Amino acid sequence: MKTLERPLKILRKNSWVWSENKKEEKQMSQHVPVMLNEVLTYLKLSPGRVIVDCTLGEAGHSEGILRKITPGGQLIGIDQDDDAISLSRRRLSCFDGSFTLINKNFQGIKDVIQSLGLNAMDGVLFDLGVSNLQFTDPERGFSFQFDGPLNMRMDKKAQITAFDLINNLSEEEIANLIFKFGEERLSRRIAHRIVSHRDKKVITTTQELSDIVVEAFPVKQRYKKIHPATRTFMALRIAVNRELEVLQSALTDAIDLLSPGGRICVISFHSLEDRIVKHEFRAQAKNGVLKIITKRPLVASEQELAENRKSRSAKLRVAEKI
């Protein structure tokens, strides 16, 4: 890869630094795309194909795709996070002219494709995980590992934040949210603890919320492999970004836009996401629209699991347009 423009340079493979307005350079991420080899294989890539990456993130998958479809191919990257768009544009600059990046939620995939004067695409990818760019930035408030404001918006222009949900919903609404989206069996205990705390003081940070959730767990359950706050934070993120709602409609539109023989690859990290993908694929196969390529979801190889912890919960489903 040739040297990129000054604000972005390679430190080592998949490690990037961004300097803006002469601020001190800082490491933005050490991004390793999940199941990259499987995605590049199952998308049936070749020069000249038009591929849509609906979850651009840090462009790890997109970079690999562009290497396979150029010359002559075109990649369309969609992401609702404008930081991801800026970072990816720099990362992919050596493919200038072969990609178009759109700052939008992938729910608008049909509008994006039509606005570009295209009628169909040869392949589409959804990677439903949170990018390191978002996860490791305390100001984005996605993780209890970094103390920051209760934010969790993938689209920074969105109005509703995790702060709004935690401090305004009723105890029953919080409990139902955590149970539905986080599949957390202690949701009612957690919700009760949250409301008890906010009656005394508004809950403003990820560390505050994490500590409150931990307190709701019996002592013997606080020190297991999975942090007690994991499911609660995931549930809030899903609710803030309407992730399950937009996924369903985006899948339907993406399948509709695929050319005959085109493939759709979806990487999910949560059982609710995977269930939506599985049911959509099965319904479309029953109607004669899709052929399911992966009867069971693919999981990361042992080597990838050892090298990339994020891949441990990844499931890849693939289908082909008939």
**pLDDT computed for residue 17 by the predictor:** 32
81 contacts 154 by C-beta, under 8 angstroms: yes
pLDDT-based confidence at residue 23 (cuts at 50, 70, 90): very low
Give the pLDDT confidence of 30-85 residue by residue, as tens digits: 568 999 999 999 999 999 999 999 999 999 999 999 999 999 999 999 999 999 99
Taken in order 257, 263, 269, 270, the sign of the CA dihedral is positive
- Rounded to 5 degrees, what angle do the CA atoms 121, 123, 128 make? 120
CA distances from 320 to 36, 66, 138, 260, 281 (A): 18, 20, 39, 8, 10
Residue 141 falls in which region: left (phi positive, over 0), alpha (psi -120 to 50) or beta: left
> Tokens 């949560």, residue?
270
pTM of the model: 0.87
The structural domains of the chain, ordered by start, are: 30-133+243-321 (3.40.50.150), 145-241 (1.10.150.170)
Asked whether the predicted pLDDT for residue 11 surpasses 50, the reply is no
Give the pLDDT confidence of 197-233 residue by residue, as tens digits: 999 999 999 999 999 999 999 998 888 778 999 999 9
